[in-house]
Structure 1
Amino acid sequence: MTGRDRRVAIVGAGVGGLAAAIHLAARGCAVSVFERAAVPGGKLRAVELGGVAMDAGPTQLTLRPVFEALFAMGGTSLDAHLDLAEAQSLGRHVWPDGSTLDLHRDEARNADAIGAFAGAAEARGYRDFMARARDARAALDAAFLQRARPTALGLAAELGMGRLLGLSPFARLDDALGKHFRDARLRQLFGGYATYVGASPLRAPATLMMVAAVEQEGVWRVAGGVHRMAAALARVAEDMGVRLRCDAPVAEVLVAGGRASGLRLADGEEVAADAVVINADVAALGASLFGAAAAGAVDAIPPRQRSFSAVTWLLRGRITGRPALPTNVVFPAPGGEYAALDFRARLPAASTLHLTALDRGDDGAVPDGEEGFQLNLTAPARGASAVPDLAALTKSRLAQLAAAGFALEITQTHATTPAGYEALFPGTGGALYGAAMQGWNAAFERPRAATRLPGLFLAGGGTHPGAGLAMAAISGRFAAEAILEER
């Protein structure tokens, strides 16, 4: 079924909304996108500091073919719009005892490095872990990630019970890592994949180990910042006839005849549509921020079921001491961090810190003059109460960095706390990934493209198949397909 003459209104010009717009425009739909911010991007955003636009969201790109397909639908190519460099370094990892482990795209090189770091048995454990991660990636791609309405029974039928059980679908990530690594530092490092979806490795499903295989497939950095992806996708969509309106907040989803019939903007303008896509956090819809009539289309996310939030600092200045790669991770002593974060209780005394040197390449060469950094840590999603004293937190975390050898001489800063994320993305309490990925069935419980209200559809990182730029783009495709399938 084609989309000819079908009018679609999309709320939110994040990656999911822009991907849905491109898919729908390619099928002949008349698409309008309404974005409350001044520029497209959503969580793929930039903040200007010292006259330089700096990534305030994701800093690298994986699953490149997902984006290549979007640009191809617009009759162009990813390389025609963005300058991408494939990273060979996956990061420098540092612990309080001074131990350091550098990981790379080369799996054999990583095994050697882990052997030197923690012994031959841990190197063998790493090889077994990577084989298991690749199997999870291969098994779950077509059967889960690329399927709009996956079910646990359907997954078991497609993979076979034997292979499915081999992926440890009922195990927690931390338990699965214990099968491969005795060294607590390595369990801590690879358990960090859970935070990619705003979860704790103590509760997240073991299948998240597939992230290790995804990173081995390729990680790319974008010249000028990953935030440029949003502007590039917006250009492609507009060239395809999509109407993009920024500074256009939406107040309400209109409902008539038992189905979504359009939008009412904050200024009172009404826009008629045959279908509406919400590319905003599902929590905002459930909290009636788009009107009471549409709120019942989804289940509300209770505060205790929210994913984690973050504290993100953008910094300009210089770094002294330990050489820095583009990606650097400073860990606290193993144990206790996620227990403190769990149930959104409090920030731990010391956090895992992710320090991204935004202007550096794999060789770690130091740019002339000041350079830009992004520093972030995982935090509870509890709005203002999650970080009661930002100045004290900043001082303590910079001291933690300095103790690890990354001393920063800072001239300019910009911080976003969970309260700031709540202001940017209302209704979320600051949660960045929708509902928390807790338990074996959490992935199957994420909202799907179609809602209980006919004509109203969802896209974005809080919906299936999950968080991350590529996953949000895939969710946009699912929303477009659901609209086109609707009779």
Structure 2
Amino acid sequence: MQGETGVVVIGAGMGGLAAAAGLAAQGIKVTVVEAGDVPGGKARGVPTPSGLADTGPTVLTMRHVLDAIFAECGTRTEDELTLIPLPRLARHFWPDGATLDLFTDLDANIAAIEAAFGAKEAAAFRRFDRITRGMWEAFSGSVIAAPKPDLGRIVAATLARPKLWGALRPGLTMQELLRSQFSDPRLVQLFGRYATYVGGRPAATPAVLSLIWQAEVQGVWAIAEGMHGVAAALARAAERKGVQFHYNSRAKRIVRKEGRVVAVEIENGTSIPCAACVFNGDPGALRDGLLGDAARASMEDTRRPEPSLSAWVWAFGAKPVGVELAHHNVFFSADPELEFGPIGVGRMPEEPTLYVCAQDREMASPPPEIERFEIIMNGPAGHQPFPQEESQCRARTFPTLAAMGLSFEPEPEPPGLTTPALLSRRFPGSQGAIYGGSPEGVLATFQRPLARTGLKGLYLAGGGTHPGAGVPMALTSGRHAAKALAADRISAAK
């Protein structure tokens, strides 16, 4: 690999930013080309009277991953961003009037669940927490942190924890596990919600992904600058290490010569020579030939997964009226089947559960009169707009919240709505999915593409690759790509 030629990173999403920063920290020349006008990918902000409101991921967990990237760049997270630890993970509301706050503290959670649902359910939660803690200990190192799921370590970790065997039975879904633990369907609904964090439905997502609860209970941070601000901070840190960013520059083709990557062509006609390329986009774009025949051939040995869930996302500024909100809030439907049943057949949910991020709540200062909000309604992936999409989505969002005691003055206008079809156009090859490939199915975790591809010099990063969806996972994928590329570079130089 020619050391002086450098590396091109296609896409300035979280995975691409992590890869660029990690490579530059090793003294490698890096150029990032990004189709949009700012870094962040799906972590975008939209203008409101109180500043940019997030319209992408909002939950930051596993902060150590972000800390490690900034440390590689010679700085600290706290010098780049204002992160506020949230002792309250989320506030949950049900149509029957029940509410529940969950916290980072185990005893506080037990007390809250006992007060809301009784001692029996509190005991069930204690068991569930113990099971998922065991899952986390068994799989975080061998799957999430590893560049490739290590089946040997997984088997060894599982055999060492016989109390987990029942919860790890092949084919067991998250919903089945939860129903075996909790008697109250509202708690099954609540903890089943973690399937949607990686783009799955509780009744089809493997039970082992209940470990997501442990990623959250170990710490959630609010970000004064917003999640889009995390991307901006990573880009600044990378620039200080010498990374060059070219925005409004869409990659057209990855060029191969003599069996390896030699350049990346941009739509404006520019060709950037390189010794390697990190593609931070949906792997489906490569499979569809959107980056040329060489890139498409590199994916021939990989399976195209079913797409994960998508969503309709409102981002806006307004004055909230009614119930007291936390930073993260979930308003549950009365019947999960009326949400996930329609989604499973490609329709908009009839009775959705709605996530509301009150971006200015539980921060260092009181919220402004006009606060920033993001509301997410899960839905199926898809290329085409749904019939009467905006009006149907509005009818399922704001009257539902109003019936549970929350309204906004004013309600947002249509430009504040991001749809699955818009996501499909904005992120080619994604089919509108937010979380890459679906996590549903026993082998889904093991079928994600890894950092290395079948084309020498082409590497992958992002939520569509191992270890999967979510900000810390996408960042981790970028670190995997940087390490694989650097290792291959050293090997080629010998």
Query: Which TM-score band (shorter chain)?
Result: over 0.9
| Post-superposition offset of 1:161 | 6.6
- What letter is aligned with 1:111? I
Residue 40 (structure 2) aligns with: 41
The alignment partner of 1:377 has SS state of strand
Q: Contact conserved, 1:350 with 1:397, CA < 8 A, in 2?
A: no
What is residue 244 of structure 2 aligned with on the other side?
A: 243
Q: 1:66-116 deviations in whole A, cap 9, x for unaligned?
A: 111111111111111111110011111111111111212222111111112
The verdict on how the C-alpha distance between 1:250 and 1:298 changes in structure 2, with shifts beyond 3 A counting, is: same
Paired with 1:197 and 1:88, the residues of 2 have a C-alpha distance of 23
Match of 1:256 in 2: 257
**Is residue 2:375 matched to residue 1:382?**
no
CA displacement 1:14-70 (0-9 Å, x = unmatched) = 111111111111222111111111111111111113362111112231111111111
- Aligned to 2:217, what secondary structure does the other structure show? helix
Question: For residues 235 and 430 of structure 1, do their structure 2 counterparts lie closer, same or farther at Cα, with a shift above 3 Å needed?
Answer: same
Specify the alignment match of 2:62 in structure 1.
Answer: 63
Which residue of structure 1 aligns with residue 105 of structure 2? Answer: 106
CA distance in 2, matches of 1:226, 1:294: 31
Residue aligning to 1:427: 429
Whole-angstrom distance in 1 between the partners of 2:50 and 2:326 = 24
Contact 1:315–1:410 (CA under 8 A) maintained in structure 2: no
Aligned with residue 450 of structure 2, among 448, 451, 458: 448
Is the 8 Å Cα contact of residues 379 and 386 (structure 1) preserved in structure 2?
Answer: no
- Is 1:9 the counterpart of 2:8? The answer is yes
The alpha-carbon distance between structure 1 residues 237 and 416, as it changes in their structure 2 partners (threshold 3 A), is: same
Q: Secondary structure at the match of 2:181?
A: coil
Give CA deviations for 1:414-441 in whole Å, capped at 9, x if unaligned. 0001011112112222111111001221
Q: Does 1:409 align with 2:412?
A: no
Q: Which runs of 5+ in 2 are unaligned?
A: none
Letter in 2 for 1:397: T
Shift in Å, 1:385: 4.0
User: Is residue 11–residue 250 contact of structure 1 (8 Å, CA) maintained in 2?
Assistant: yes
Counterpart of 2:268? 267
TM-superposition CA deviations, 1:362-397 (whole Å, max 9, x none): 79x963421111111111101334464212320331
Deviates further, 168-177 or 74-83: 168-177
Q: Which residue of 2 aligns with 1:367?
A: 367
The one-letter code of the counterpart of 2:213 is A
In structure 2, relative to structure 1, the CA distance for the partners of 1:17 and 1:152 (3 Å cut) is same
Whole-angstrom distance in 2 between the partners of 1:346 and 1:267: 38
Instruction: Answer yes or no: is the 8 Å Cα contact 1:200–1:338 preserved in 2.
Output: no
Structure 2 length as normaliser, TM-score? 0.93
CA contact (8 A) 2:43 2:56 kept: yes
Judge conservation of contact 1:344–1:381 (CA < 8 Å) in 2.
no
Q: What amino acid sits opposite 1:200 in the alignment?
A: R
Q: Counterparts in 2 of 1:48-447, with a 5 A limit?
A: 48-50=47-49, 52-157=51-156, 159-160=158-159, 163=162, 165=165, 167-168=167-168, 170=170, 171-298=172-299, 305-361=306-362, 367-386=367-386, 388-410=388-410, 412-413=412-413, 414-447=416-449
* 1:315 CA displacement: 2.4
Find the residue that maps to 2:37 and give its secondary structure: coil
Q: Say which SS state the counterpart of residue 179 (structure 1) adopts.
A: helix
Separation in 1, partners of 2:367, 2:75: 33
CA-to-partner distance for each residue in 1:227-260, whole Å, 9 max, x for gaps?
Answer: 1111111111111111111111111111111222
Aligned residue among 462, 465, 468 for 1:466:
468
Q: TM-score, normalised by structure 1?
A: 0.95
Which string of whole-angstrom CA distances, capped at 9 and with x for unpartnered residues, describes residues 256-294 of structure 1? 112222100001111111111100111111111111221
Contact 1:285 1:298 in 2 (8 A): yes
Q: Which residue in 2 is equivalent to 1:18?
A: 17
Amino acid at match of 2:255: L
Aligned counterparts of 2:148 and 2:311: Cα–Cα separation in 1? 30
RMSD (CA atoms):
2.0
What amino acid sits opposite 2:382 in the alignment? Answer: R
Measured at CA, do residues 70 and 227 of structure 1 come closer, stay the same or move farther in structure 2, by a change above 3 Å? same
The alpha-carbon distance between structure 1 residues 117 and 158, as it changes in their structure 2 partners (threshold 3 A), is closer
Partner amino acid for 2:149?
A: P
Check the 8 A contact 1:3/1:484 in 2, yes or no.
Answer: no
**Corresponding pairs, count:** 484
Quote how far apart the aligned CAs of 1:162 are: 5.0
- AA of the residue aligned to 1:379: G
Query: Aligned AA for 2:48?
Result: L
CA distance in 1 between counterparts of 2:68 and 2:187 reads 35
Taking only the aligned residue pairs, the percentage that are identical comes to: 38
Match of 2:384, SS state, is helix
